Structure 1
Amino acid sequence: MNKEKKDTISLRQMFLIFLKISSFTFGGGYTIVPVMKDEFSIKRNLISEDEMIDLVAIANSGPGSMAINCAILAGYRMHGIIGAILATIASAIPSLVIITLISYFYRAFSENYYVQAALTGMGGIIAAILVWTSIDMIRQALKNNIYISAIIMVSAFVASYIVNINTGIIMLVTGIFGFVYYSLVEKYEGGKN
């Protein structure tokens, strides 16, 4: 864990930031990552960039919406259980409101040319955000241990897309490998000092 001094934020500020993020981030899980990183790592120094990547990895491996999982973990990291609860509520409110409104006006939305055009345009923007987020996460992951990280990424890609191994099995195997490898590396490096 990074020992440098971190800034602090009130529960109210945290709630409003998550409410804002969830209100203006469309496209699901990975589109929220750069916004959370910008808000909590870059602007406010509340969570280091390495910790943010770890939170995203953990959120992605758990059941449920990745955006909500990220909010739970980031809220917990900043303010414990109360932070996790408030971050979850703030992240869920905009989605509930938007889905409720859309359900009332579904027929008008589904047949409206302008709404369909806007949704199609948003799809392209979301795809670009996902590509940028993936590149940023790869760059961050390769920063510390380039060789082992590259081997794990390439192996996971080959196992998933070429050999067709179940994603859950790939995550389990790479998680165990990472735990064992980094435990041994830390133990070895700790013994050298």
Structure 2
Amino acid sequence: MNTRTVPETRASRLRKLFLTTLYISSFTFGGGFVIVTFMKKKFVDELHWIDEQEMLDMTALAQSSPGAIAVNAAILVGWQVEGLLGMLIAVLGTIIPPMLILSVISLFYNAFATNIYVALVLKGMQAGVAAVILDVVCDLGGKVVKSHSPLYIGLMVAAFAANFVFNVNVILIILAAAALGIVRVLLQSRKGGAV
């Protein structure tokens, strides 16, 4: 039995990138964090095209950039995997399903808005989405705790408290965390040490 693996061609990687983002976008409901979870499972755990730290960085960038987090994440993953063409393919795969679904829903909006069964389905989906988002929070929070970095752990606790206890605007929290990261990088580069 021949166990040699045939190297992937660029065309096959682009096709796989498009089909994967199309599939993920078609079957994930509940916003960006849900889609990022599935992207991590597919691109990091299964395909090994990017590593876990890169996915964490991309998630932070996608979250802190303007626009939909799913599209932002697709831009970053596509660029990392296959450059400009990969970025375009990943974005296309990500936007086609919601565009089609929303187009159909908009045609029948009045029927959907007043249908009790549709309302019940959406309520059930909310519970499932909440569970997936909680999974993402636990996964990302666990990685911060495992880093054993007092700075990162303190920042996570402070961001949580600022948002949920003091109702600070999320944009201010993101900007403050980004500023702290920039200061840390600048200080580390002056010392010549590792970041």
TM-score (norm. length: structure 1)? 0.87
Q: Which amino acid aligns with 1:121?
A: G
**Alpha-carbon offset, residue 189 of structure 1:** 6.6
The separation in 2 between residues aligned to 1:29 and 1:73, in whole angstroms, is: 13
Q: 5+ unaligned residues in a row in structure 1: which ranges? A: 1-6
**Alpha-carbon offset, residue 67 of structure 1:** 0.6
Name 1:91's counterpart in structure 2: 94
Q: Which amino acid aligns with 2:54?
A: E
Aligned-pair identity in percent equals 38
* Residue 154 (str. 1) matches residue 163 (str. 2): no
**Alpha-carbon offset, residue 86 of structure 1:** 1.1
The separation in 1 between residues aligned to 2:143 and 2:49, in whole angstroms, is: 18
Q: Which moved more, 1:178-187 or 1:148-157?
A: 178-187
Q: 5+ unaligned residues in a row in structure 2: which ranges? A: 1-6
Q: Which amino acid aligns with 1:79?
A: E
**2:73 aligned to 70, 84, 88, which one?**
70
SS at match of 1:148: helix
Name 2:3's counterpart in structure 1: none
Name 1:102's counterpart in structure 2: 105
The separation in 2 between residues aligned to 1:117 and 1:32, in whole angstroms, is: 23
**1:137 aligned to 137, 140, 157, which one?**
140
Name 2:123's counterpart in structure 1: 120
Equivalent residues of 1:53, 1:140 under 8 A apart: no
Q: Which moved more, 1:116-125 or 1:177-186?
A: 177-186
Q: Which moved more, 1:134-143 or 1:26-35?
A: 134-143
Q: Which amino acid aligns with 2:173?
A: I
TM-score (norm. length: structure 2)? 0.86
The separation in 2 between residues aligned to 1:118 and 1:104, in whole angstroms, is: 19
The separation in 2 between residues aligned to 1:61 and 1:104, in whole angstroms, is: 33
Q: Which moved more, 1:152-161 or 1:118-127?
A: 152-161
The separation in 2 between residues aligned to 1:17 and 1:179, in whole angstroms, is: 34
Q: Which amino acid aligns with 1:153?
A: M
Q: Which amino acid aligns with 2:172?
A: I
**Alpha-carbon offset, residue 174 of structure 1:** 1.5
